[in-house]
């Protein structure tokens, strides 16, 4: 079934330079990468971003098929924004006229540009969760937030919440899959008929799913409390992560990449 194929937030076990980087480096790197995508205003700058992604993806040793399989559902959203962009952007020569809607060359250009940017953003950020264990990710977030905890930001709690949310994605997918199968065995069919009957057919899936989510959450809370979890105060790590030479190298590469994007943007080449 298709639900299981959604791999957003999933970790892919492998031994690669990207896996071995500190989580903080990868988080900041991902943020920087997303910023660079928003800075890019030309196709050539996007091409640089695509090259950067391709290099990282190759380094990560995550099979491209696995990455793209999980992101297939997002394609719907991308297709939708493409249509909107193509239809509602004016400028350039008129290519097709469909009633009141005029599709212009500028519109098509913009639609393609936005789609490429979105795809790179989603694939780029999926690399973070694919190469970082949820626990390492949580720790990294917590460390990054911790300077703000003096200002009253609950760094540990925020990081813990994000970590649990990430951890729950596959669990809920599994649960969805199970319930879907159970209802299918009772003759249910999902996603057929008109919009109202479609929405109605989701009820036998959503109600048990919510009940399960609450059950799993309360089990988790119980398990944490019975192991004396009391929040972040005074908690230490068994395996403290540390930044190494590898992270320094990554930082240099990222800085160089950012500079290249900005340069291409500003150059007449664009």
Partner 1 sequence: MLVEVRNVTYTYNEGLPFETTALEDVSFSLRPGCFSALIGHTGSGKSTLLQILCGLIEPGAGSVLADGTDLYEKTGAALAARRRIGMVFQYPEHQLFGETVLADVCFGPKNLGLSDDECRERAFESLRLVGLDPDEKAGISPFSLSGGERRRAAIAGVLAMRPELLILDEPAAGLDPKGCGEMSALMRSLNEEGTGILLVSHDMDEVAALAKQVLVLNGGRVAMEGTCEEVFSRGGELARMGLSLPAPAAFMSAMAQRGYPTEGVALTARQAARKLSALFGKRGGNGV
Binding to partner 1 (CB under 8 A) within 165-194 occurs at: 178-179, 181-189
* Closest C-alpha to 25, from 257, 259, 256, 242: 242
* Interface segment toward partner 1; rule CB under 8 A; list 50-58, 107-115, 204-212, 240-248: 204-212
- What track of x and - describes contact with partner 1 for positions 39 through 78 (by CB under 8 A)? ------------------------x-xx------------
Under 8 Å CB-to-CB from 159, ≥6 apart: which residues? 138, 139, 141, 142, 145
What is the closest distance, in whole angstroms, from the C-beta atom of residue 207 to partner 1 in the complex? 4
Identify the residue among 77, 84, 94, 211 touching partner 1 (CB under 8 A): 211
Does 10 engage in binding with partner 1 (CB under 8 A)?
no
Does 14 engage in binding with partner 1 (CB under 8 A)?
yes
What is the closest distance, in whole angstroms, from the C-beta atom of residue 54 to partner 1 in the complex? 20
Beta bridge partners of 98: 101
Does 204 engage in binding with partner 1 (CB under 8 A)?
yes
- C-alpha 37/C-alpha 31 separation (Å) is 10
- C-alpha 151/C-alpha 16 separation (Å) is 37
Binding to partner 1 (CB under 8 A) within 217-256 occurs at: none
What is the closest distance, in whole angstroms, from the C-beta atom of residue 23 to partner 1 in the complex? 22
Exposed, middle or buried by CB within 10 Å (0-12, 13-18, 19+), for 138?
buried
CA 256 to chain centre: 24
Does 212 engage in binding with partner 1 (CB under 8 A)?
yes
What is the closest distance, in whole angstroms, from the C-beta atom of residue 8 to partner 1 in the complex? 16
Residue 106 or 204: the one with the smaller Cβ distance to partner 1 is 204
Pairing label, strands 94-98, 101-104: antiparallel
Encoding tokens for residue 227?
A: 């192991």
- Centre a 10 Å sphere on the Cβ of residue 84 and count the other Cβ atoms it contains: 13
Chain positions contacting partner 1, by CB under 8 A: 1, 13-14, 63, 65-66, 178-179, 181-189, 203-208, 211-212
């Amino acid at each position: 079934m298709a639900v299981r194929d959604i791999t957003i937030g999933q970790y892919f076990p492998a031994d690669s330079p990207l896996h071995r980087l500190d989580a903080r480096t990868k988080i900041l790197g991902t943020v920087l990468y997303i910023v660079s995508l928003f800075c890019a205003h030309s196709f050539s700058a996007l091409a640089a971003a695509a090259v950067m992604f391709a290099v990282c993806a190759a380094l990560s040793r995550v099979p491209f098929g696995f990455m793209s399989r999980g992101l297939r559902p997002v394609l719907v959203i991308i297709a939708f924004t493409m249509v909107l962009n193509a239809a509602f952007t004016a400028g350039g020569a008129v290519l097709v006229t469909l009633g009141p809607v005029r599709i212009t060359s500028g519109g098509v250009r913009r639609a393609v540009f936005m789609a490429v940017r979105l795809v790179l953003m989603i694939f780029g950020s999926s690399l973070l969760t694919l190469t970082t264990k949820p626990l390492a990710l949580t720790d990294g977030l917590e460390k990054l937030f911790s300077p703000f905890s003096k200002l009253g930001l609950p760094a540990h709690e925020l990081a813990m919440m994000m970590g649990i949310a990430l951890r729950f994605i596959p669990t809920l997918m599994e649960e969805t899959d199970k319930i879907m199968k159970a209802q299918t065995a009772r003759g249910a069919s999902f996603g057929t008929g008109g919009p109202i009957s479609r929405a109605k057919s989701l009820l036998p899936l959503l109600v048990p799913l919510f009940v399960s989510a609450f059950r799993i959450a309360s089990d988790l809370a119980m398990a944490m409390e019975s192991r004396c979890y009391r929040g972040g105060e005074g908690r230490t790590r068994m395996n403290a992560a540390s930044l190494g030479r590898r992270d320094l190298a990554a930082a240099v590469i990222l800085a160089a990449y950012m500079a290249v994007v900005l340069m291409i943007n500003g150059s007449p080449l664009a």
